[in-house]
Amino acid sequence: MSSGFVESARSKAQEVAKEDFDRAKVLINDAAKSQSYLYPIKGIVYFLTHRSLWKPLASKLAPTLALSAGVVASMFAFTYLPQLAILVFVNGPLAVFTTVLLVLNESSVIISMISKNFLLQDALLDTFDGTLVSRNTTGILSEGRQLKAGGDPIQRLGKIIKSPFSRFSPKALVRYVMYLPLNFIPVVGTVVFILIQGRSRGNSVHDRYFQLKKWSASQRSNWLSEHTGPYTAFGTIATVLELVPLASILFSFTNTVGAALWAADIEAKENEMAQGTAPSLRDAAKKAE
């Protein structure tokens, strides 16, 4: 009887593992097809080659650099050794590196929480909207912002009609703390932790885009559920970039540019499909006559 129970449990575990593996394979395939993981990199290139998009960052550069340096230095000074003392029992020699990743991740969350709520919200909004203008995706942007004639993309941005990005969610902080113990698992735990943070990060990168499209909460949820792989891939790369000390703020802006480029491509594809569908509908109507 005992052997039968063990065999049943083993069979069930294999079944669950297969389901999870198949699910992961689908998500990876979706991410690969969408090439969403490239948009954070595209954001870097686009940002560096379009100087007008530097203006929002330049206006906040001094205070955000000071904030980043202060947070990272304080975190390493006060939390690195205590956490290393714990992780060394689990990760062994690798604890030196996994603790660095952990402290950087913690610093990133603190910097993000403070800067995006008190320093960068308007600047990131201008960067996202300015990128849409630069890509000539002004149709949807006009739903949430007045646009001026002439000038560079940032100069064309007028009064905000719709409220900007949502502020830092307490739920995100709770989720972060809840999954923090994963870092005690050597290497794999840290990777899984970053992937989980990446999924959470990915789910928020198009908040402004969804807002401009006037989508309801259920529409947003359905879209994100259908595109979990692409958004997780984008969020993971964005999270890794924003872990870089001192450069995390820069990458917050380039990731915002990347998200806007992705939104512009989605919008262009939808418009292309709509334009292609309209003649087909007219032809069908004529045939029906």
Residue 160 lies in a domain: yes
* Average pLDDT value over all residues in the chain: 82
For 203-269, the DSSP string reads: TTTTHHHHHHTT--HHHHHHHHHHTHHHHHHHHHHHHHHTTSTTTHHHHHHHHHHHHHHHHHHHHHH
Q: Please give the pLDDT value at position 281.
A: 44
Residue 278 lies in a domain: no
Q: Which domain holds residue 80?
A: 25-268
Residue 15 lies in a domain: no
Rounded CA-CA distance 191/257 in Å is: 25
Residue 273 lies in a domain: no
| pLDDT-based confidence at residue 282 (cuts at 50, 70, 90) | very low
| pLDDT-based confidence at residue 89 (cuts at 50, 70, 90) | confident
| Phi-psi label, residue 164: left if phi above 0, alpha if psi -120 to 50, beta otherwise | beta
Report how many domains make up the chain: 1
Rounded CA-CA distance 42/58 in Å is: 20
| pLDDT-based confidence at residue 283 (cuts at 50, 70, 90) | low
Paired tokens of 129 = 């909207």
Residue 11 lies in a domain: no
| pLDDT-based confidence at residue 185 (cuts at 50, 70, 90) | confident
Q: pLDDT, tens digit, for every residue of 207-260?
A: 999 999 999 989 999 999 999 999 999 999 998 898 776 688 899 999 999 999
Range from 17-26, 73-82, 93-102, 149-158 carrying the lowest mean pLDDT: 17-26
Tell me which of 93 and 48 has the higher pLDDT: 48
Residue 95 lies in a domain: yes
What distances in angstroms separate CA 58 from CA 15, 19, 61, one per listed residue?
53, 48, 5
Residue 283 lies in a domain: no
Residue 243 lies in a domain: yes
CA-based nearest residue to 10, from 2, 21, 25: 2
Q: Please give the pLDDT value at position 178.
A: 75
CA-based nearest residue to 270, from 209, 222, 218: 209
Most trustworthy range by pLDDT among 117-121, 194-198, 226-230: 226-230
